[in-house]
A and B are shown apart, each in its own frame.
Chain A
Amino acid sequence: MTLFILKRLAQIIPVTLGVTLVVFLIMQMIPGDPAIILAGEGASQETVAELRENLGLNKPLAVQYTDYIKNLLQGDMGHSLKNNQPVFEEITARLPITIELAFYSILITIVLGLVAGIISAIRPYSFMDVGLMIVALLGISLPSFWLGILLMYLFSVQLHWLPVAGWDSAKHIILPAVTLGAGGAAIVARMTRSSMLEVVNQDYIRTAKAKGLKGYIIILKHALRNALIPVITVVGLQFGSLLGGTVLVESVFAVNGLGRMIVDAIRTRDIPIVQGGVLVASLIFVFINLFVDILYRIFNKRMDLN
C-alpha cells in the first residue's frame, strides 16, 4: 500500500509539468495579446512594447516557460498581469468558496444519488423505478449551465424563493450546489441501481434471506455495503467533472470562486492566474483520485480474493 501511494505521489511531478505546459501553450495559441489588452484600447505602440518588455513577454517561449517552472519550484506562482497581486493570494482568496460549493454539490450528488438508486433497485421496473430513472437520464443529459438558468428562472425569478446570484447566505448556496450536483447525482443513482441489482443476486444475499433477516437489514447492511464499492469510483470521477462544472456554475450564478477567476483571467489573457488556477485545480483532482483509489483498494481487497 505504501509503495502504491508513493508511486501515485510521484505521478504528481509529470502531471504538474504536463498541465502547466499545456495551459501555457494554449494561452499562447489563442488570439489576443495580453500587453494590448492590459494597455487598453487607445494605448500607443511604445506603451505596449514597454509593457511587453516589463512582463517578460518578448522572451522566447521556452525561456518564458522554464522561468515559470523555476519560480514555481521556489513556491512563486507569479503575479497577476492585471493588478500585480501574487497569484497565490488570489487563489487562496477564491479557493474556499469553490471548495464550499464543491462540498455541498458532492453531498447532493451522494445523498440524492444513493437514495434514488436504492429506491429504484428495491423494486426494479416499478413505476417508481422507471420514473426515477427518467429523471436521472434528464439529469445526465441537461448541461449544467442550462439547468442552472432553468432553476434560477423558476425559483428566483418566478417564485422568489431563492436569490438569483451571489454568495452571501446559506440560501445562496442552494441553487448553485443543486445545479452542480444534479448531473453527478443522476450518474450515481444509475450506478447504485445497477450495482445493487447485481449484488442482490449474489449468493450471500440468499444466505442473508435464509437466515431470516428483515428486508431492510438485507438491503442496507448486506447489499448496500457491497454495492457501494463501484459507486465510490464513480463519485471520485464526479469530483473531476465537478471541478470543471464550477467554472460554468460560478459564472452563471456570479459566484466569486476559483472557476470564475479562471474564466475572467482567460478573458483578460492573465496567463499567470490561469496557470496557477488550473494547476491548483488539477492537483486537487489528483489528490482526490488518489484518495478514492486508496478507499477502493481497501474495499476491493476483500473482493479480489473471492
Chain B
Amino acid sequence: MKQETVLEVKNLQTYFYSSEGVAKAVDGVSFTLQKGETLGIVGESGCGKSMTSLSLLRLVPSPPGKIINGEILLNNTDILKLSDEELRKIRGNKISMIFQEPMTSLNPVLSVGEQIAESIRLHQGLSRKDAWEKAVDMIRLVGIPAPEKRAKQEPYQLSGGMRQRIMIAMALACTPDVLIADEPTTALDVTIQAQIIDIIQNLQKQLGMSIIFITHDLGVVAEICDKIAVMYAGQVVEEGTTDSLFEKPLHPYTNGLIQSLPKLYEDQEELSTIHGTVPSPYNYPIGCRYAERCPFATELCRKKQPELLTIEPGKKVRCWMYSKEWQGATLMEEMTV
C-alpha cells in the first residue's frame, strides 16, 4: 500500500519567554503522519507534548509563548506561513482538536448543538437549519441517545463523558484530515475512557482521518496507536511502531517508563524507578537531557547532545548508545535482560 503523508513536522521549536528566562518547551520536534494513521505522542508532565499539539494549530498562548522555528506541512502547505485568515480556514476544518478537560472546553452558555453547528456553517457554508441538522447527526454519530433533545441542552446538563463526545462531534463535523486529541480521556473514568476510545476508533474507520493522540498513559497508546513518539524535555527521544516500541524499547528513558508501570498480571515486590527528576526547561544540560538520570550515561553523553538517529526505516532514537561514537561497554539489551 502506498503511503500518503498528511502532516509533516520539521524541527519545531516553541519557546516561552518570561522573567525567569527562556523555557524551551518544544525544542526541535520532527515527525510525519500518514493518511489514516494514529500517532501517539507520550511523555510525562512538562515534556512538551501538549505544547507540540497546540503549536500545530498555532494555539500556543502568545505572549509568553512563541513558535520560533520549524515547518508544519499539512498536505504540503506550511501552516506557519499562513495568514491569519488562511489559518482560520484550516482550523476546525482540515485539522481539528479535542482537549483534556471536557468540563471547561465547551462554552457554558451556548447550546452544544449551536457549538457544533457554528463550525459547520462557517466552513461548509450550510444554512442555519441544515447546519443544525448536521450537528444533530454528529451527536447521534458519537453515540449520544436522543440527539435532538441533547443538541438543545447546555454543557452543564451533560456528564463528562457526554461532553467529551460533543467535543469529538464538534471536531469531526467538517471531516478533517487530522484530528489532534490532547489527553482526551485523562479526566474521565476508565469505563467512560473505554467508550470514548471506542468511538474515536470507529469514527476513524468510517471517516478515514489521521489522529495524533497525546497522552501520558502508555496503556492507552499501546491499544490505539500505530506508531509512537516518546518525548522527553522538549525533544522526541524515540520513535517507532507500537509493537517495536513496547517489545524492544531502545531509549533508556522509554525502557524506564515502561518498567516503572505497575504490572496488572504479575506480582512485583518493588517497582523499578527512574531516579532524579526532569531537568528545568529554562536550563537544559548541554549534553543528552536524560544523561543525569540514565544508568548508562558516559562522559560523551554528558558533553554532547545526541542526534535523533534512524536505526531502521520508521525507527529512530536519540541516544549515543546506537551511534558509531559509542564507547560504553554494554548495550542496554544486555543490561536489562
Known contacts A212-B89, A214-B88; is-contact A222 B110 (Cβ 8 Å)? yes
- Structural contact, A306 and B89, CB atoms closer than 8 A: no
Q: Which residue of B lies closest to A210 (CB)?
A: B97
Q: Which residue of B lies closest to A300 (CB)?
A: B108
Known contacts A213-B119, A302-B156, A306-B156; is-contact A204 B92 (Cβ 8 Å)? no
Q: Which residue of B lies closest to A305 (CB)?
A: B156
The listed residue (B91, B106, B108, B156) touching A212 by CB distance below 8 A is B91
B87: chain A residues at CB < 8 Å are: 212
CB proximity to A under 8 Å, residues B63-103: 87-93, 96-97, 99, 101, 103
- Structural contact, A306 and B103, CB atoms closer than 8 A: yes
- Structural contact, A210 and B108, CB atoms closer than 8 A: no
Residue from A211, A213, A226 with most neighbouring chain B CB atoms (10 Å): A211
- Structural contact, A207 and B108, CB atoms closer than 8 A: no
The listed residue (A207, A299, A301, A302) touching B99 by CB distance below 8 A is A207
- Structural contact, B96 and A210, CB atoms closer than 8 A: yes
Residue from B107, B110, B119 with most neighbouring chain A CB atoms (10 Å): B107
- Is A203 located at the chain interface by the 8 A CB criterion? yes
Produce 1/0 per residue, B147-170, CB < 8 A to A: 000000011100000000001001
A207 to B91, CA, bound (A): 10
- Structural contact, B107 and A208, CB atoms closer than 8 A: yes
- Structural contact, A206 and B88, CB atoms closer than 8 A: no
User: What is the interface size of chain B, counting residues whose CB is below 8 A from a CB of the partner?
Assistant: 31
Min CB–CB distance A215 → chain B (angstroms): 8
- Structural contact, A222 and B92, CB atoms closer than 8 A: no
Known contacts A211-B122, A211-B170, A212-B90; is-contact A206 B105 (Cβ 8 Å)? yes
- Is A209 located at the chain interface by the 8 A CB criterion? yes
Residue from A202, A209, A222, A304 with most neighbouring chain B CB atoms (10 Å): A209
A interface SS class: helix
- Structural contact, B118 and A211, CB atoms closer than 8 A: yes
A221 to B93, CA, bound (A): 20
- Structural contact, B110 and A210, CB atoms closer than 8 A: no
- Is B311 located at the chain interface by the 8 A CB criterion? no
A6: chain B residues at CB < 8 Å are: none
Min CB–CB distance A216 → chain B (angstroms): 12
Min CB–CB distance B308 → chain A (angstroms): 29
B105: chain A residues at CB < 8 Å are: 203-204, 206-207
Known contacts A302-B154, A302-B156, A306-B104; is-contact A213 B118 (Cβ 8 Å)? yes
- Structural contact, B107 and A204, CB atoms closer than 8 A: yes
B96: chain A residues at CB < 8 Å are: 210-211
A221 to B103, CA, bound (A): 19
- Is A159 located at the chain interface by the 8 A CB criterion? no
The listed residue (B93, B109, B123) touching A302 by CB distance below 8 A is B109
A299: chain B residues at CB < 8 Å are: 109
- Is A10 located at the chain interface by the 8 A CB criterion? no
- Is B207 located at the chain interface by the 8 A CB criterion? no
- Extra contacts besides A211-B92, A302-B109 (19): CB < 8 Å: A201-B61, A203-B101, A204-B104, A207-B97, A207-B99, A207-B107, A208-B107, A209-B59, A210-B97, A211-B118, A212-B90, A212-B93, A213-B92, A213-B119, A226-B107, A226-B109, A302-B154, A305-B156, A306-B108
A-B contact pairs, 12 of them (CB 8 A): A207-B105, A207-B167, A207-B170, A210-B97, A212-B89, A212-B91, A213-B88, A214-B88, A302-B155, A303-B108, A306-B108, A306-B156
